[in-house]
Structure 1
Amino acid sequence: MPDTLNAQAVVGRRVEFAYYRDQDTYLPGVITEIADDPASLRIRLDRDRYPVACRPDYEWIRYLDDVVPVPDLPMGRFTPTAADFDGRYASIPVVQFEEGEIVLLTADNIKAGEALAEFAADMQIAPDYADPADLVLRWVVFEWQPEDAECPWLMSFADADADHAIHIHYLPA
């Protein structure tokens, strides 16, 4: 790699990164690691928990002047937002897990039913599977996982008095 790239490609360097498929949209991020492989840079985009890997001479990376301490990823329990879920349906954040369970981030029965119906229609889920009568009101906690984990967060059932416990509607698989 040329010396100018060696000088620029350092942990903590702020960058702007564009995916090959969308070279017109540059996203801000920071170099978190320099690995010993062909795609040697690991960049955590400001909007993401997972790093992207690229070569230091990747055409769609812009090295910025700022070199900052790499911020720690938030860990532990948290209260999710719509950005942590697949999307909003009837203004309610909704996510479906690989096993088929559906979580609606609301304690309101009516809103949960509306969001489930809208989500099921959008995802082409059979109406008999997405029956609002099968929704269960549960207390849960969400917990951030490490950067290299398979999922960014996990959800666990909890007691109402648990730290960061929230009421959700849950549709078992």
Structure 2
Amino acid sequence: MITHVAGPDIKVRLDGQRSNLHIRADYEGLRYLTEIGPVPALPMGRFQPATQHAGIDYEYDGVLVVEFDEGDMAAITADRAKAEDAVATYLREQSGIDDETTVRDELTELQPQWVVFEWQPEGAECDWLMNPATADDDQALQVYYLPTA
């Protein structure tokens, strides 16, 4: 799907999600959608996160761990013990923290929160956001949030 045209260049969505390819409009390999078939819809609204989504690429023992650009993190689970295990492993393996005192200190800062994950419009600064919610929201998930220091 062509998602943007600027001068001689265009953006083409490859997978129906959020991956784009920048090519020249006169590229000889370009075929129009009417030649191919139906166009998948761009994901919009709330969603349940999974490792197939961009930016959600770490899982430990069934718990997804997300690190945001600012350095804060969220472990997507209602079980504090599982959240602690997942975040501790992430800190060791992904952040390179080998001081167990530092890991334990970080884990004491985990805060339970209810959130929803929502896709942002195309062209937004990020593909999706984690927004506050309440426990009675039928699409809310409980996470353990680790703010940046």
Instruction: Give the TM-score, by structure 2 length.
Output: 0.78
Confirm or deny that 1:92 pairs with 2:67.
no
Match of 2:96 in 1: 124
Q: Deviations over 1:122-164 (max 9, x none)?
A: 2214652663222111110111101111111111111101241
Partner of 1:55: 24
What are the Cα deviations for residues 49-70 of structure 1, in whole angstroms up to 9, with x where unaligned? 14221125669x6759943343
- Equivalent residue of 1:131, what SS? helix
Q: State which structure, 1 or 2, has the greater radius of gyration over its C-alpha atoms.
A: 1
Identity %: 41
Q: 1:47 to 1:73 in 2, by over 3 A?
A: closer
Does residue 82 (structure 1) correspond to residue 82 (structure 2)? The answer is: no
Name the aligned partner's letter for residue 75 of structure 2: L
Unaligned runs of at least 5 residues, structure 1:
1-30
- Over 3 Å counting, the alpha-carbon distance change for 1:50 and 1:148 in structure 2 is farther
For the Cα contact (< 8 Å) 1:141–1:155, is it kept in 2? yes
Distance between the aligned counterparts of 2:121 and 2:106, measured in 1? 35
Q: Distance in 2 between matches of 1:162 and 1:75?
A: 18
In the TM superposition, residue 116 of structure 1 has moved relative to its aligned partner by 0.8
Taking the aligned partners of 1:34 and 1:169, their CA distance within structure 2 comes to 37
Q: Distance in 1 between matches of 2:60 and 2:75?
A: 9
Tell me, in whole angstroms, the C-alpha distance in 2 between the residues paired with 1:99 and 1:154.
Answer: 13
Please point out which of 138, 141, 147 is paired with 1:166.
Answer: 141
In structure 2, relative to structure 1, the CA distance for the partners of 1:47 and 1:103 (3 Å cut) is farther
Contact preservation (8 Å) 1:146, 1:152: yes
1:46 corresponding residue in structure 2? 15
Q: Compared with structure 1, are the counterparts of its residues 160 and 170 closer, same or farther at alpha carbon in structure 2 (3 Å cutoff)?
A: same
Partner Cα separation in structure 2 for residue 82 and residue 71 of structure 1: 20
Residues 32 and 70, structure 1, Cα contact 8 Å, conserved in 2 = no
RMSD (Å) for aligned C-alpha atoms: 2.6
Change (3 A) 1:58 1:111: farther
The separation in 2 between residues aligned to 1:163 and 1:74, in whole angstroms, is 19
Moved over 3 A (4+): 56-59, 61-66
Give the aligned partner of residue 144 of structure 1: 119
